Structure 1
Amino acid sequence: MGAKTILLDKETFIERVMDFTKDLEWNYKGDKPCIIDFYADWCGPCKAIAPILEELAATYHEDIYIFKVDTEKEMEISALFGIQSIPSLLFIPLDSKPQMVQGALPKNVLEDHINSILLD
């Protein structure tokens, strides 16, 4: 079995994604593309997509990271990205701007986004 999704708090977000306390412009720190799943434990669609994201984390573990941010606990990060509805998925390629996708998308659509946004 491959990697799993990685839960981020403020400290690990700053360390692995972006130091929003210092950087005014987007500056991704990662060494490979990633998806950030903005979710909450009480959210039905978030629960529905969680096992799919775990499968994708295992399948694509050599190519991308899949991070999770609990919007209830990490309100500062959620506000930074203007999260209004969940689940919201932020696709972060290495060499271009992040793209936000909202909703509990089916696995095939997520794979299409991974391939076209992150691995293209």
Structure 2
Amino acid sequence: QEWKYEGDKPCIIDFYADWCQPCKMVAPILEEISEEYADQLYVYKVDTEVEQELAAVFGIRSIPSMLFVPMNDRPQMAVGALPKNTIEQAMKEVLGVEVKAA
């Protein structure tokens, strides 16, 4: 069965766990992004310990993993603790979000 995103804005889905140190580094960056770009995208967080079935559906093998979900194109997965500029680059290229100048 195919998963279909039905949101009204593109989104980033952050797959994390409380015991994961790199996830803790990414969390404040995504918090910042969710506030700065609230009008352009959603940021969802999925605790892979709690939502094991959901993590399995998305094929999560390591965390942190971020799924960039555009409105009309294929989602793209990024794995690892990415810096803010890399996340913003993906937001621009994959999600078509207008990224603010640093």
For this structure pair, what is the TM-score category when the shorter chain's length is used for normalisation? Answer: over 0.9
Letter in 2 for 1:37: D
- In structure 1, the gaps of 5 or more residues are 1-23
**Counterparts of 1:14-33 in structure 2 under 5 Å?**
24-33=1-10
Letter in 1 for 2:64: P
Q: Which deviations, in whole Å up to 9, do the C-alpha atoms of 1:75-100 show, x marking residues without a partner?
A: 00000011010000000000011100
> Residue 100 of structure 2 corresponds to which residue in structure 1?
none
For the aligned residues, what is the CA RMSD?
Answer: 0.8
- 1:54 is aligned to 2:54: no
Normalising by structure 1, we get a TM-score of 0.79
- 1:93 is aligned to 2:70: yes
Instruction: Give, in whole Å, the separation in 1 of the partners of 2:59 and 2:5.
Output: 17
Letter in 1 for 2:20: C
Identify which of 74, 82, 87 aligns with 1:105: 82
- 1:84 is aligned to 2:61: yes
- 1:35 is aligned to 2:37: no
Instruction: Give, in whole Å, the separation in 2 of the partners of 1:86 and 1:25.
Output: 23
Query: How many matched pairs?
Result: 97
Report the alpha carbon displacement of residue 55 of structure 1 after superposing the two structures with TM.
0.4
- 1:67 is aligned to 2:44: yes
Report the alpha carbon displacement of residue 35 of structure 1 after superposing the two structures with TM.
0.3
Report the alpha carbon displacement of residue 26 of structure 1 after superposing the two structures with TM.
2.9
Instruction: Give, in whole Å, the separation in 2 of the partners of 1:27 and 1:113.
Output: 20
Q: Which runs of 4+ in 1 moved over 2 A?
A: none
Sequence identity percentage:
59
Letter in 2 for 1:86: I
Instruction: Give, in whole Å, the separation in 1 of the partners of 2:65 and 2:80.
Output: 6
Partner SS for 1:62: coil
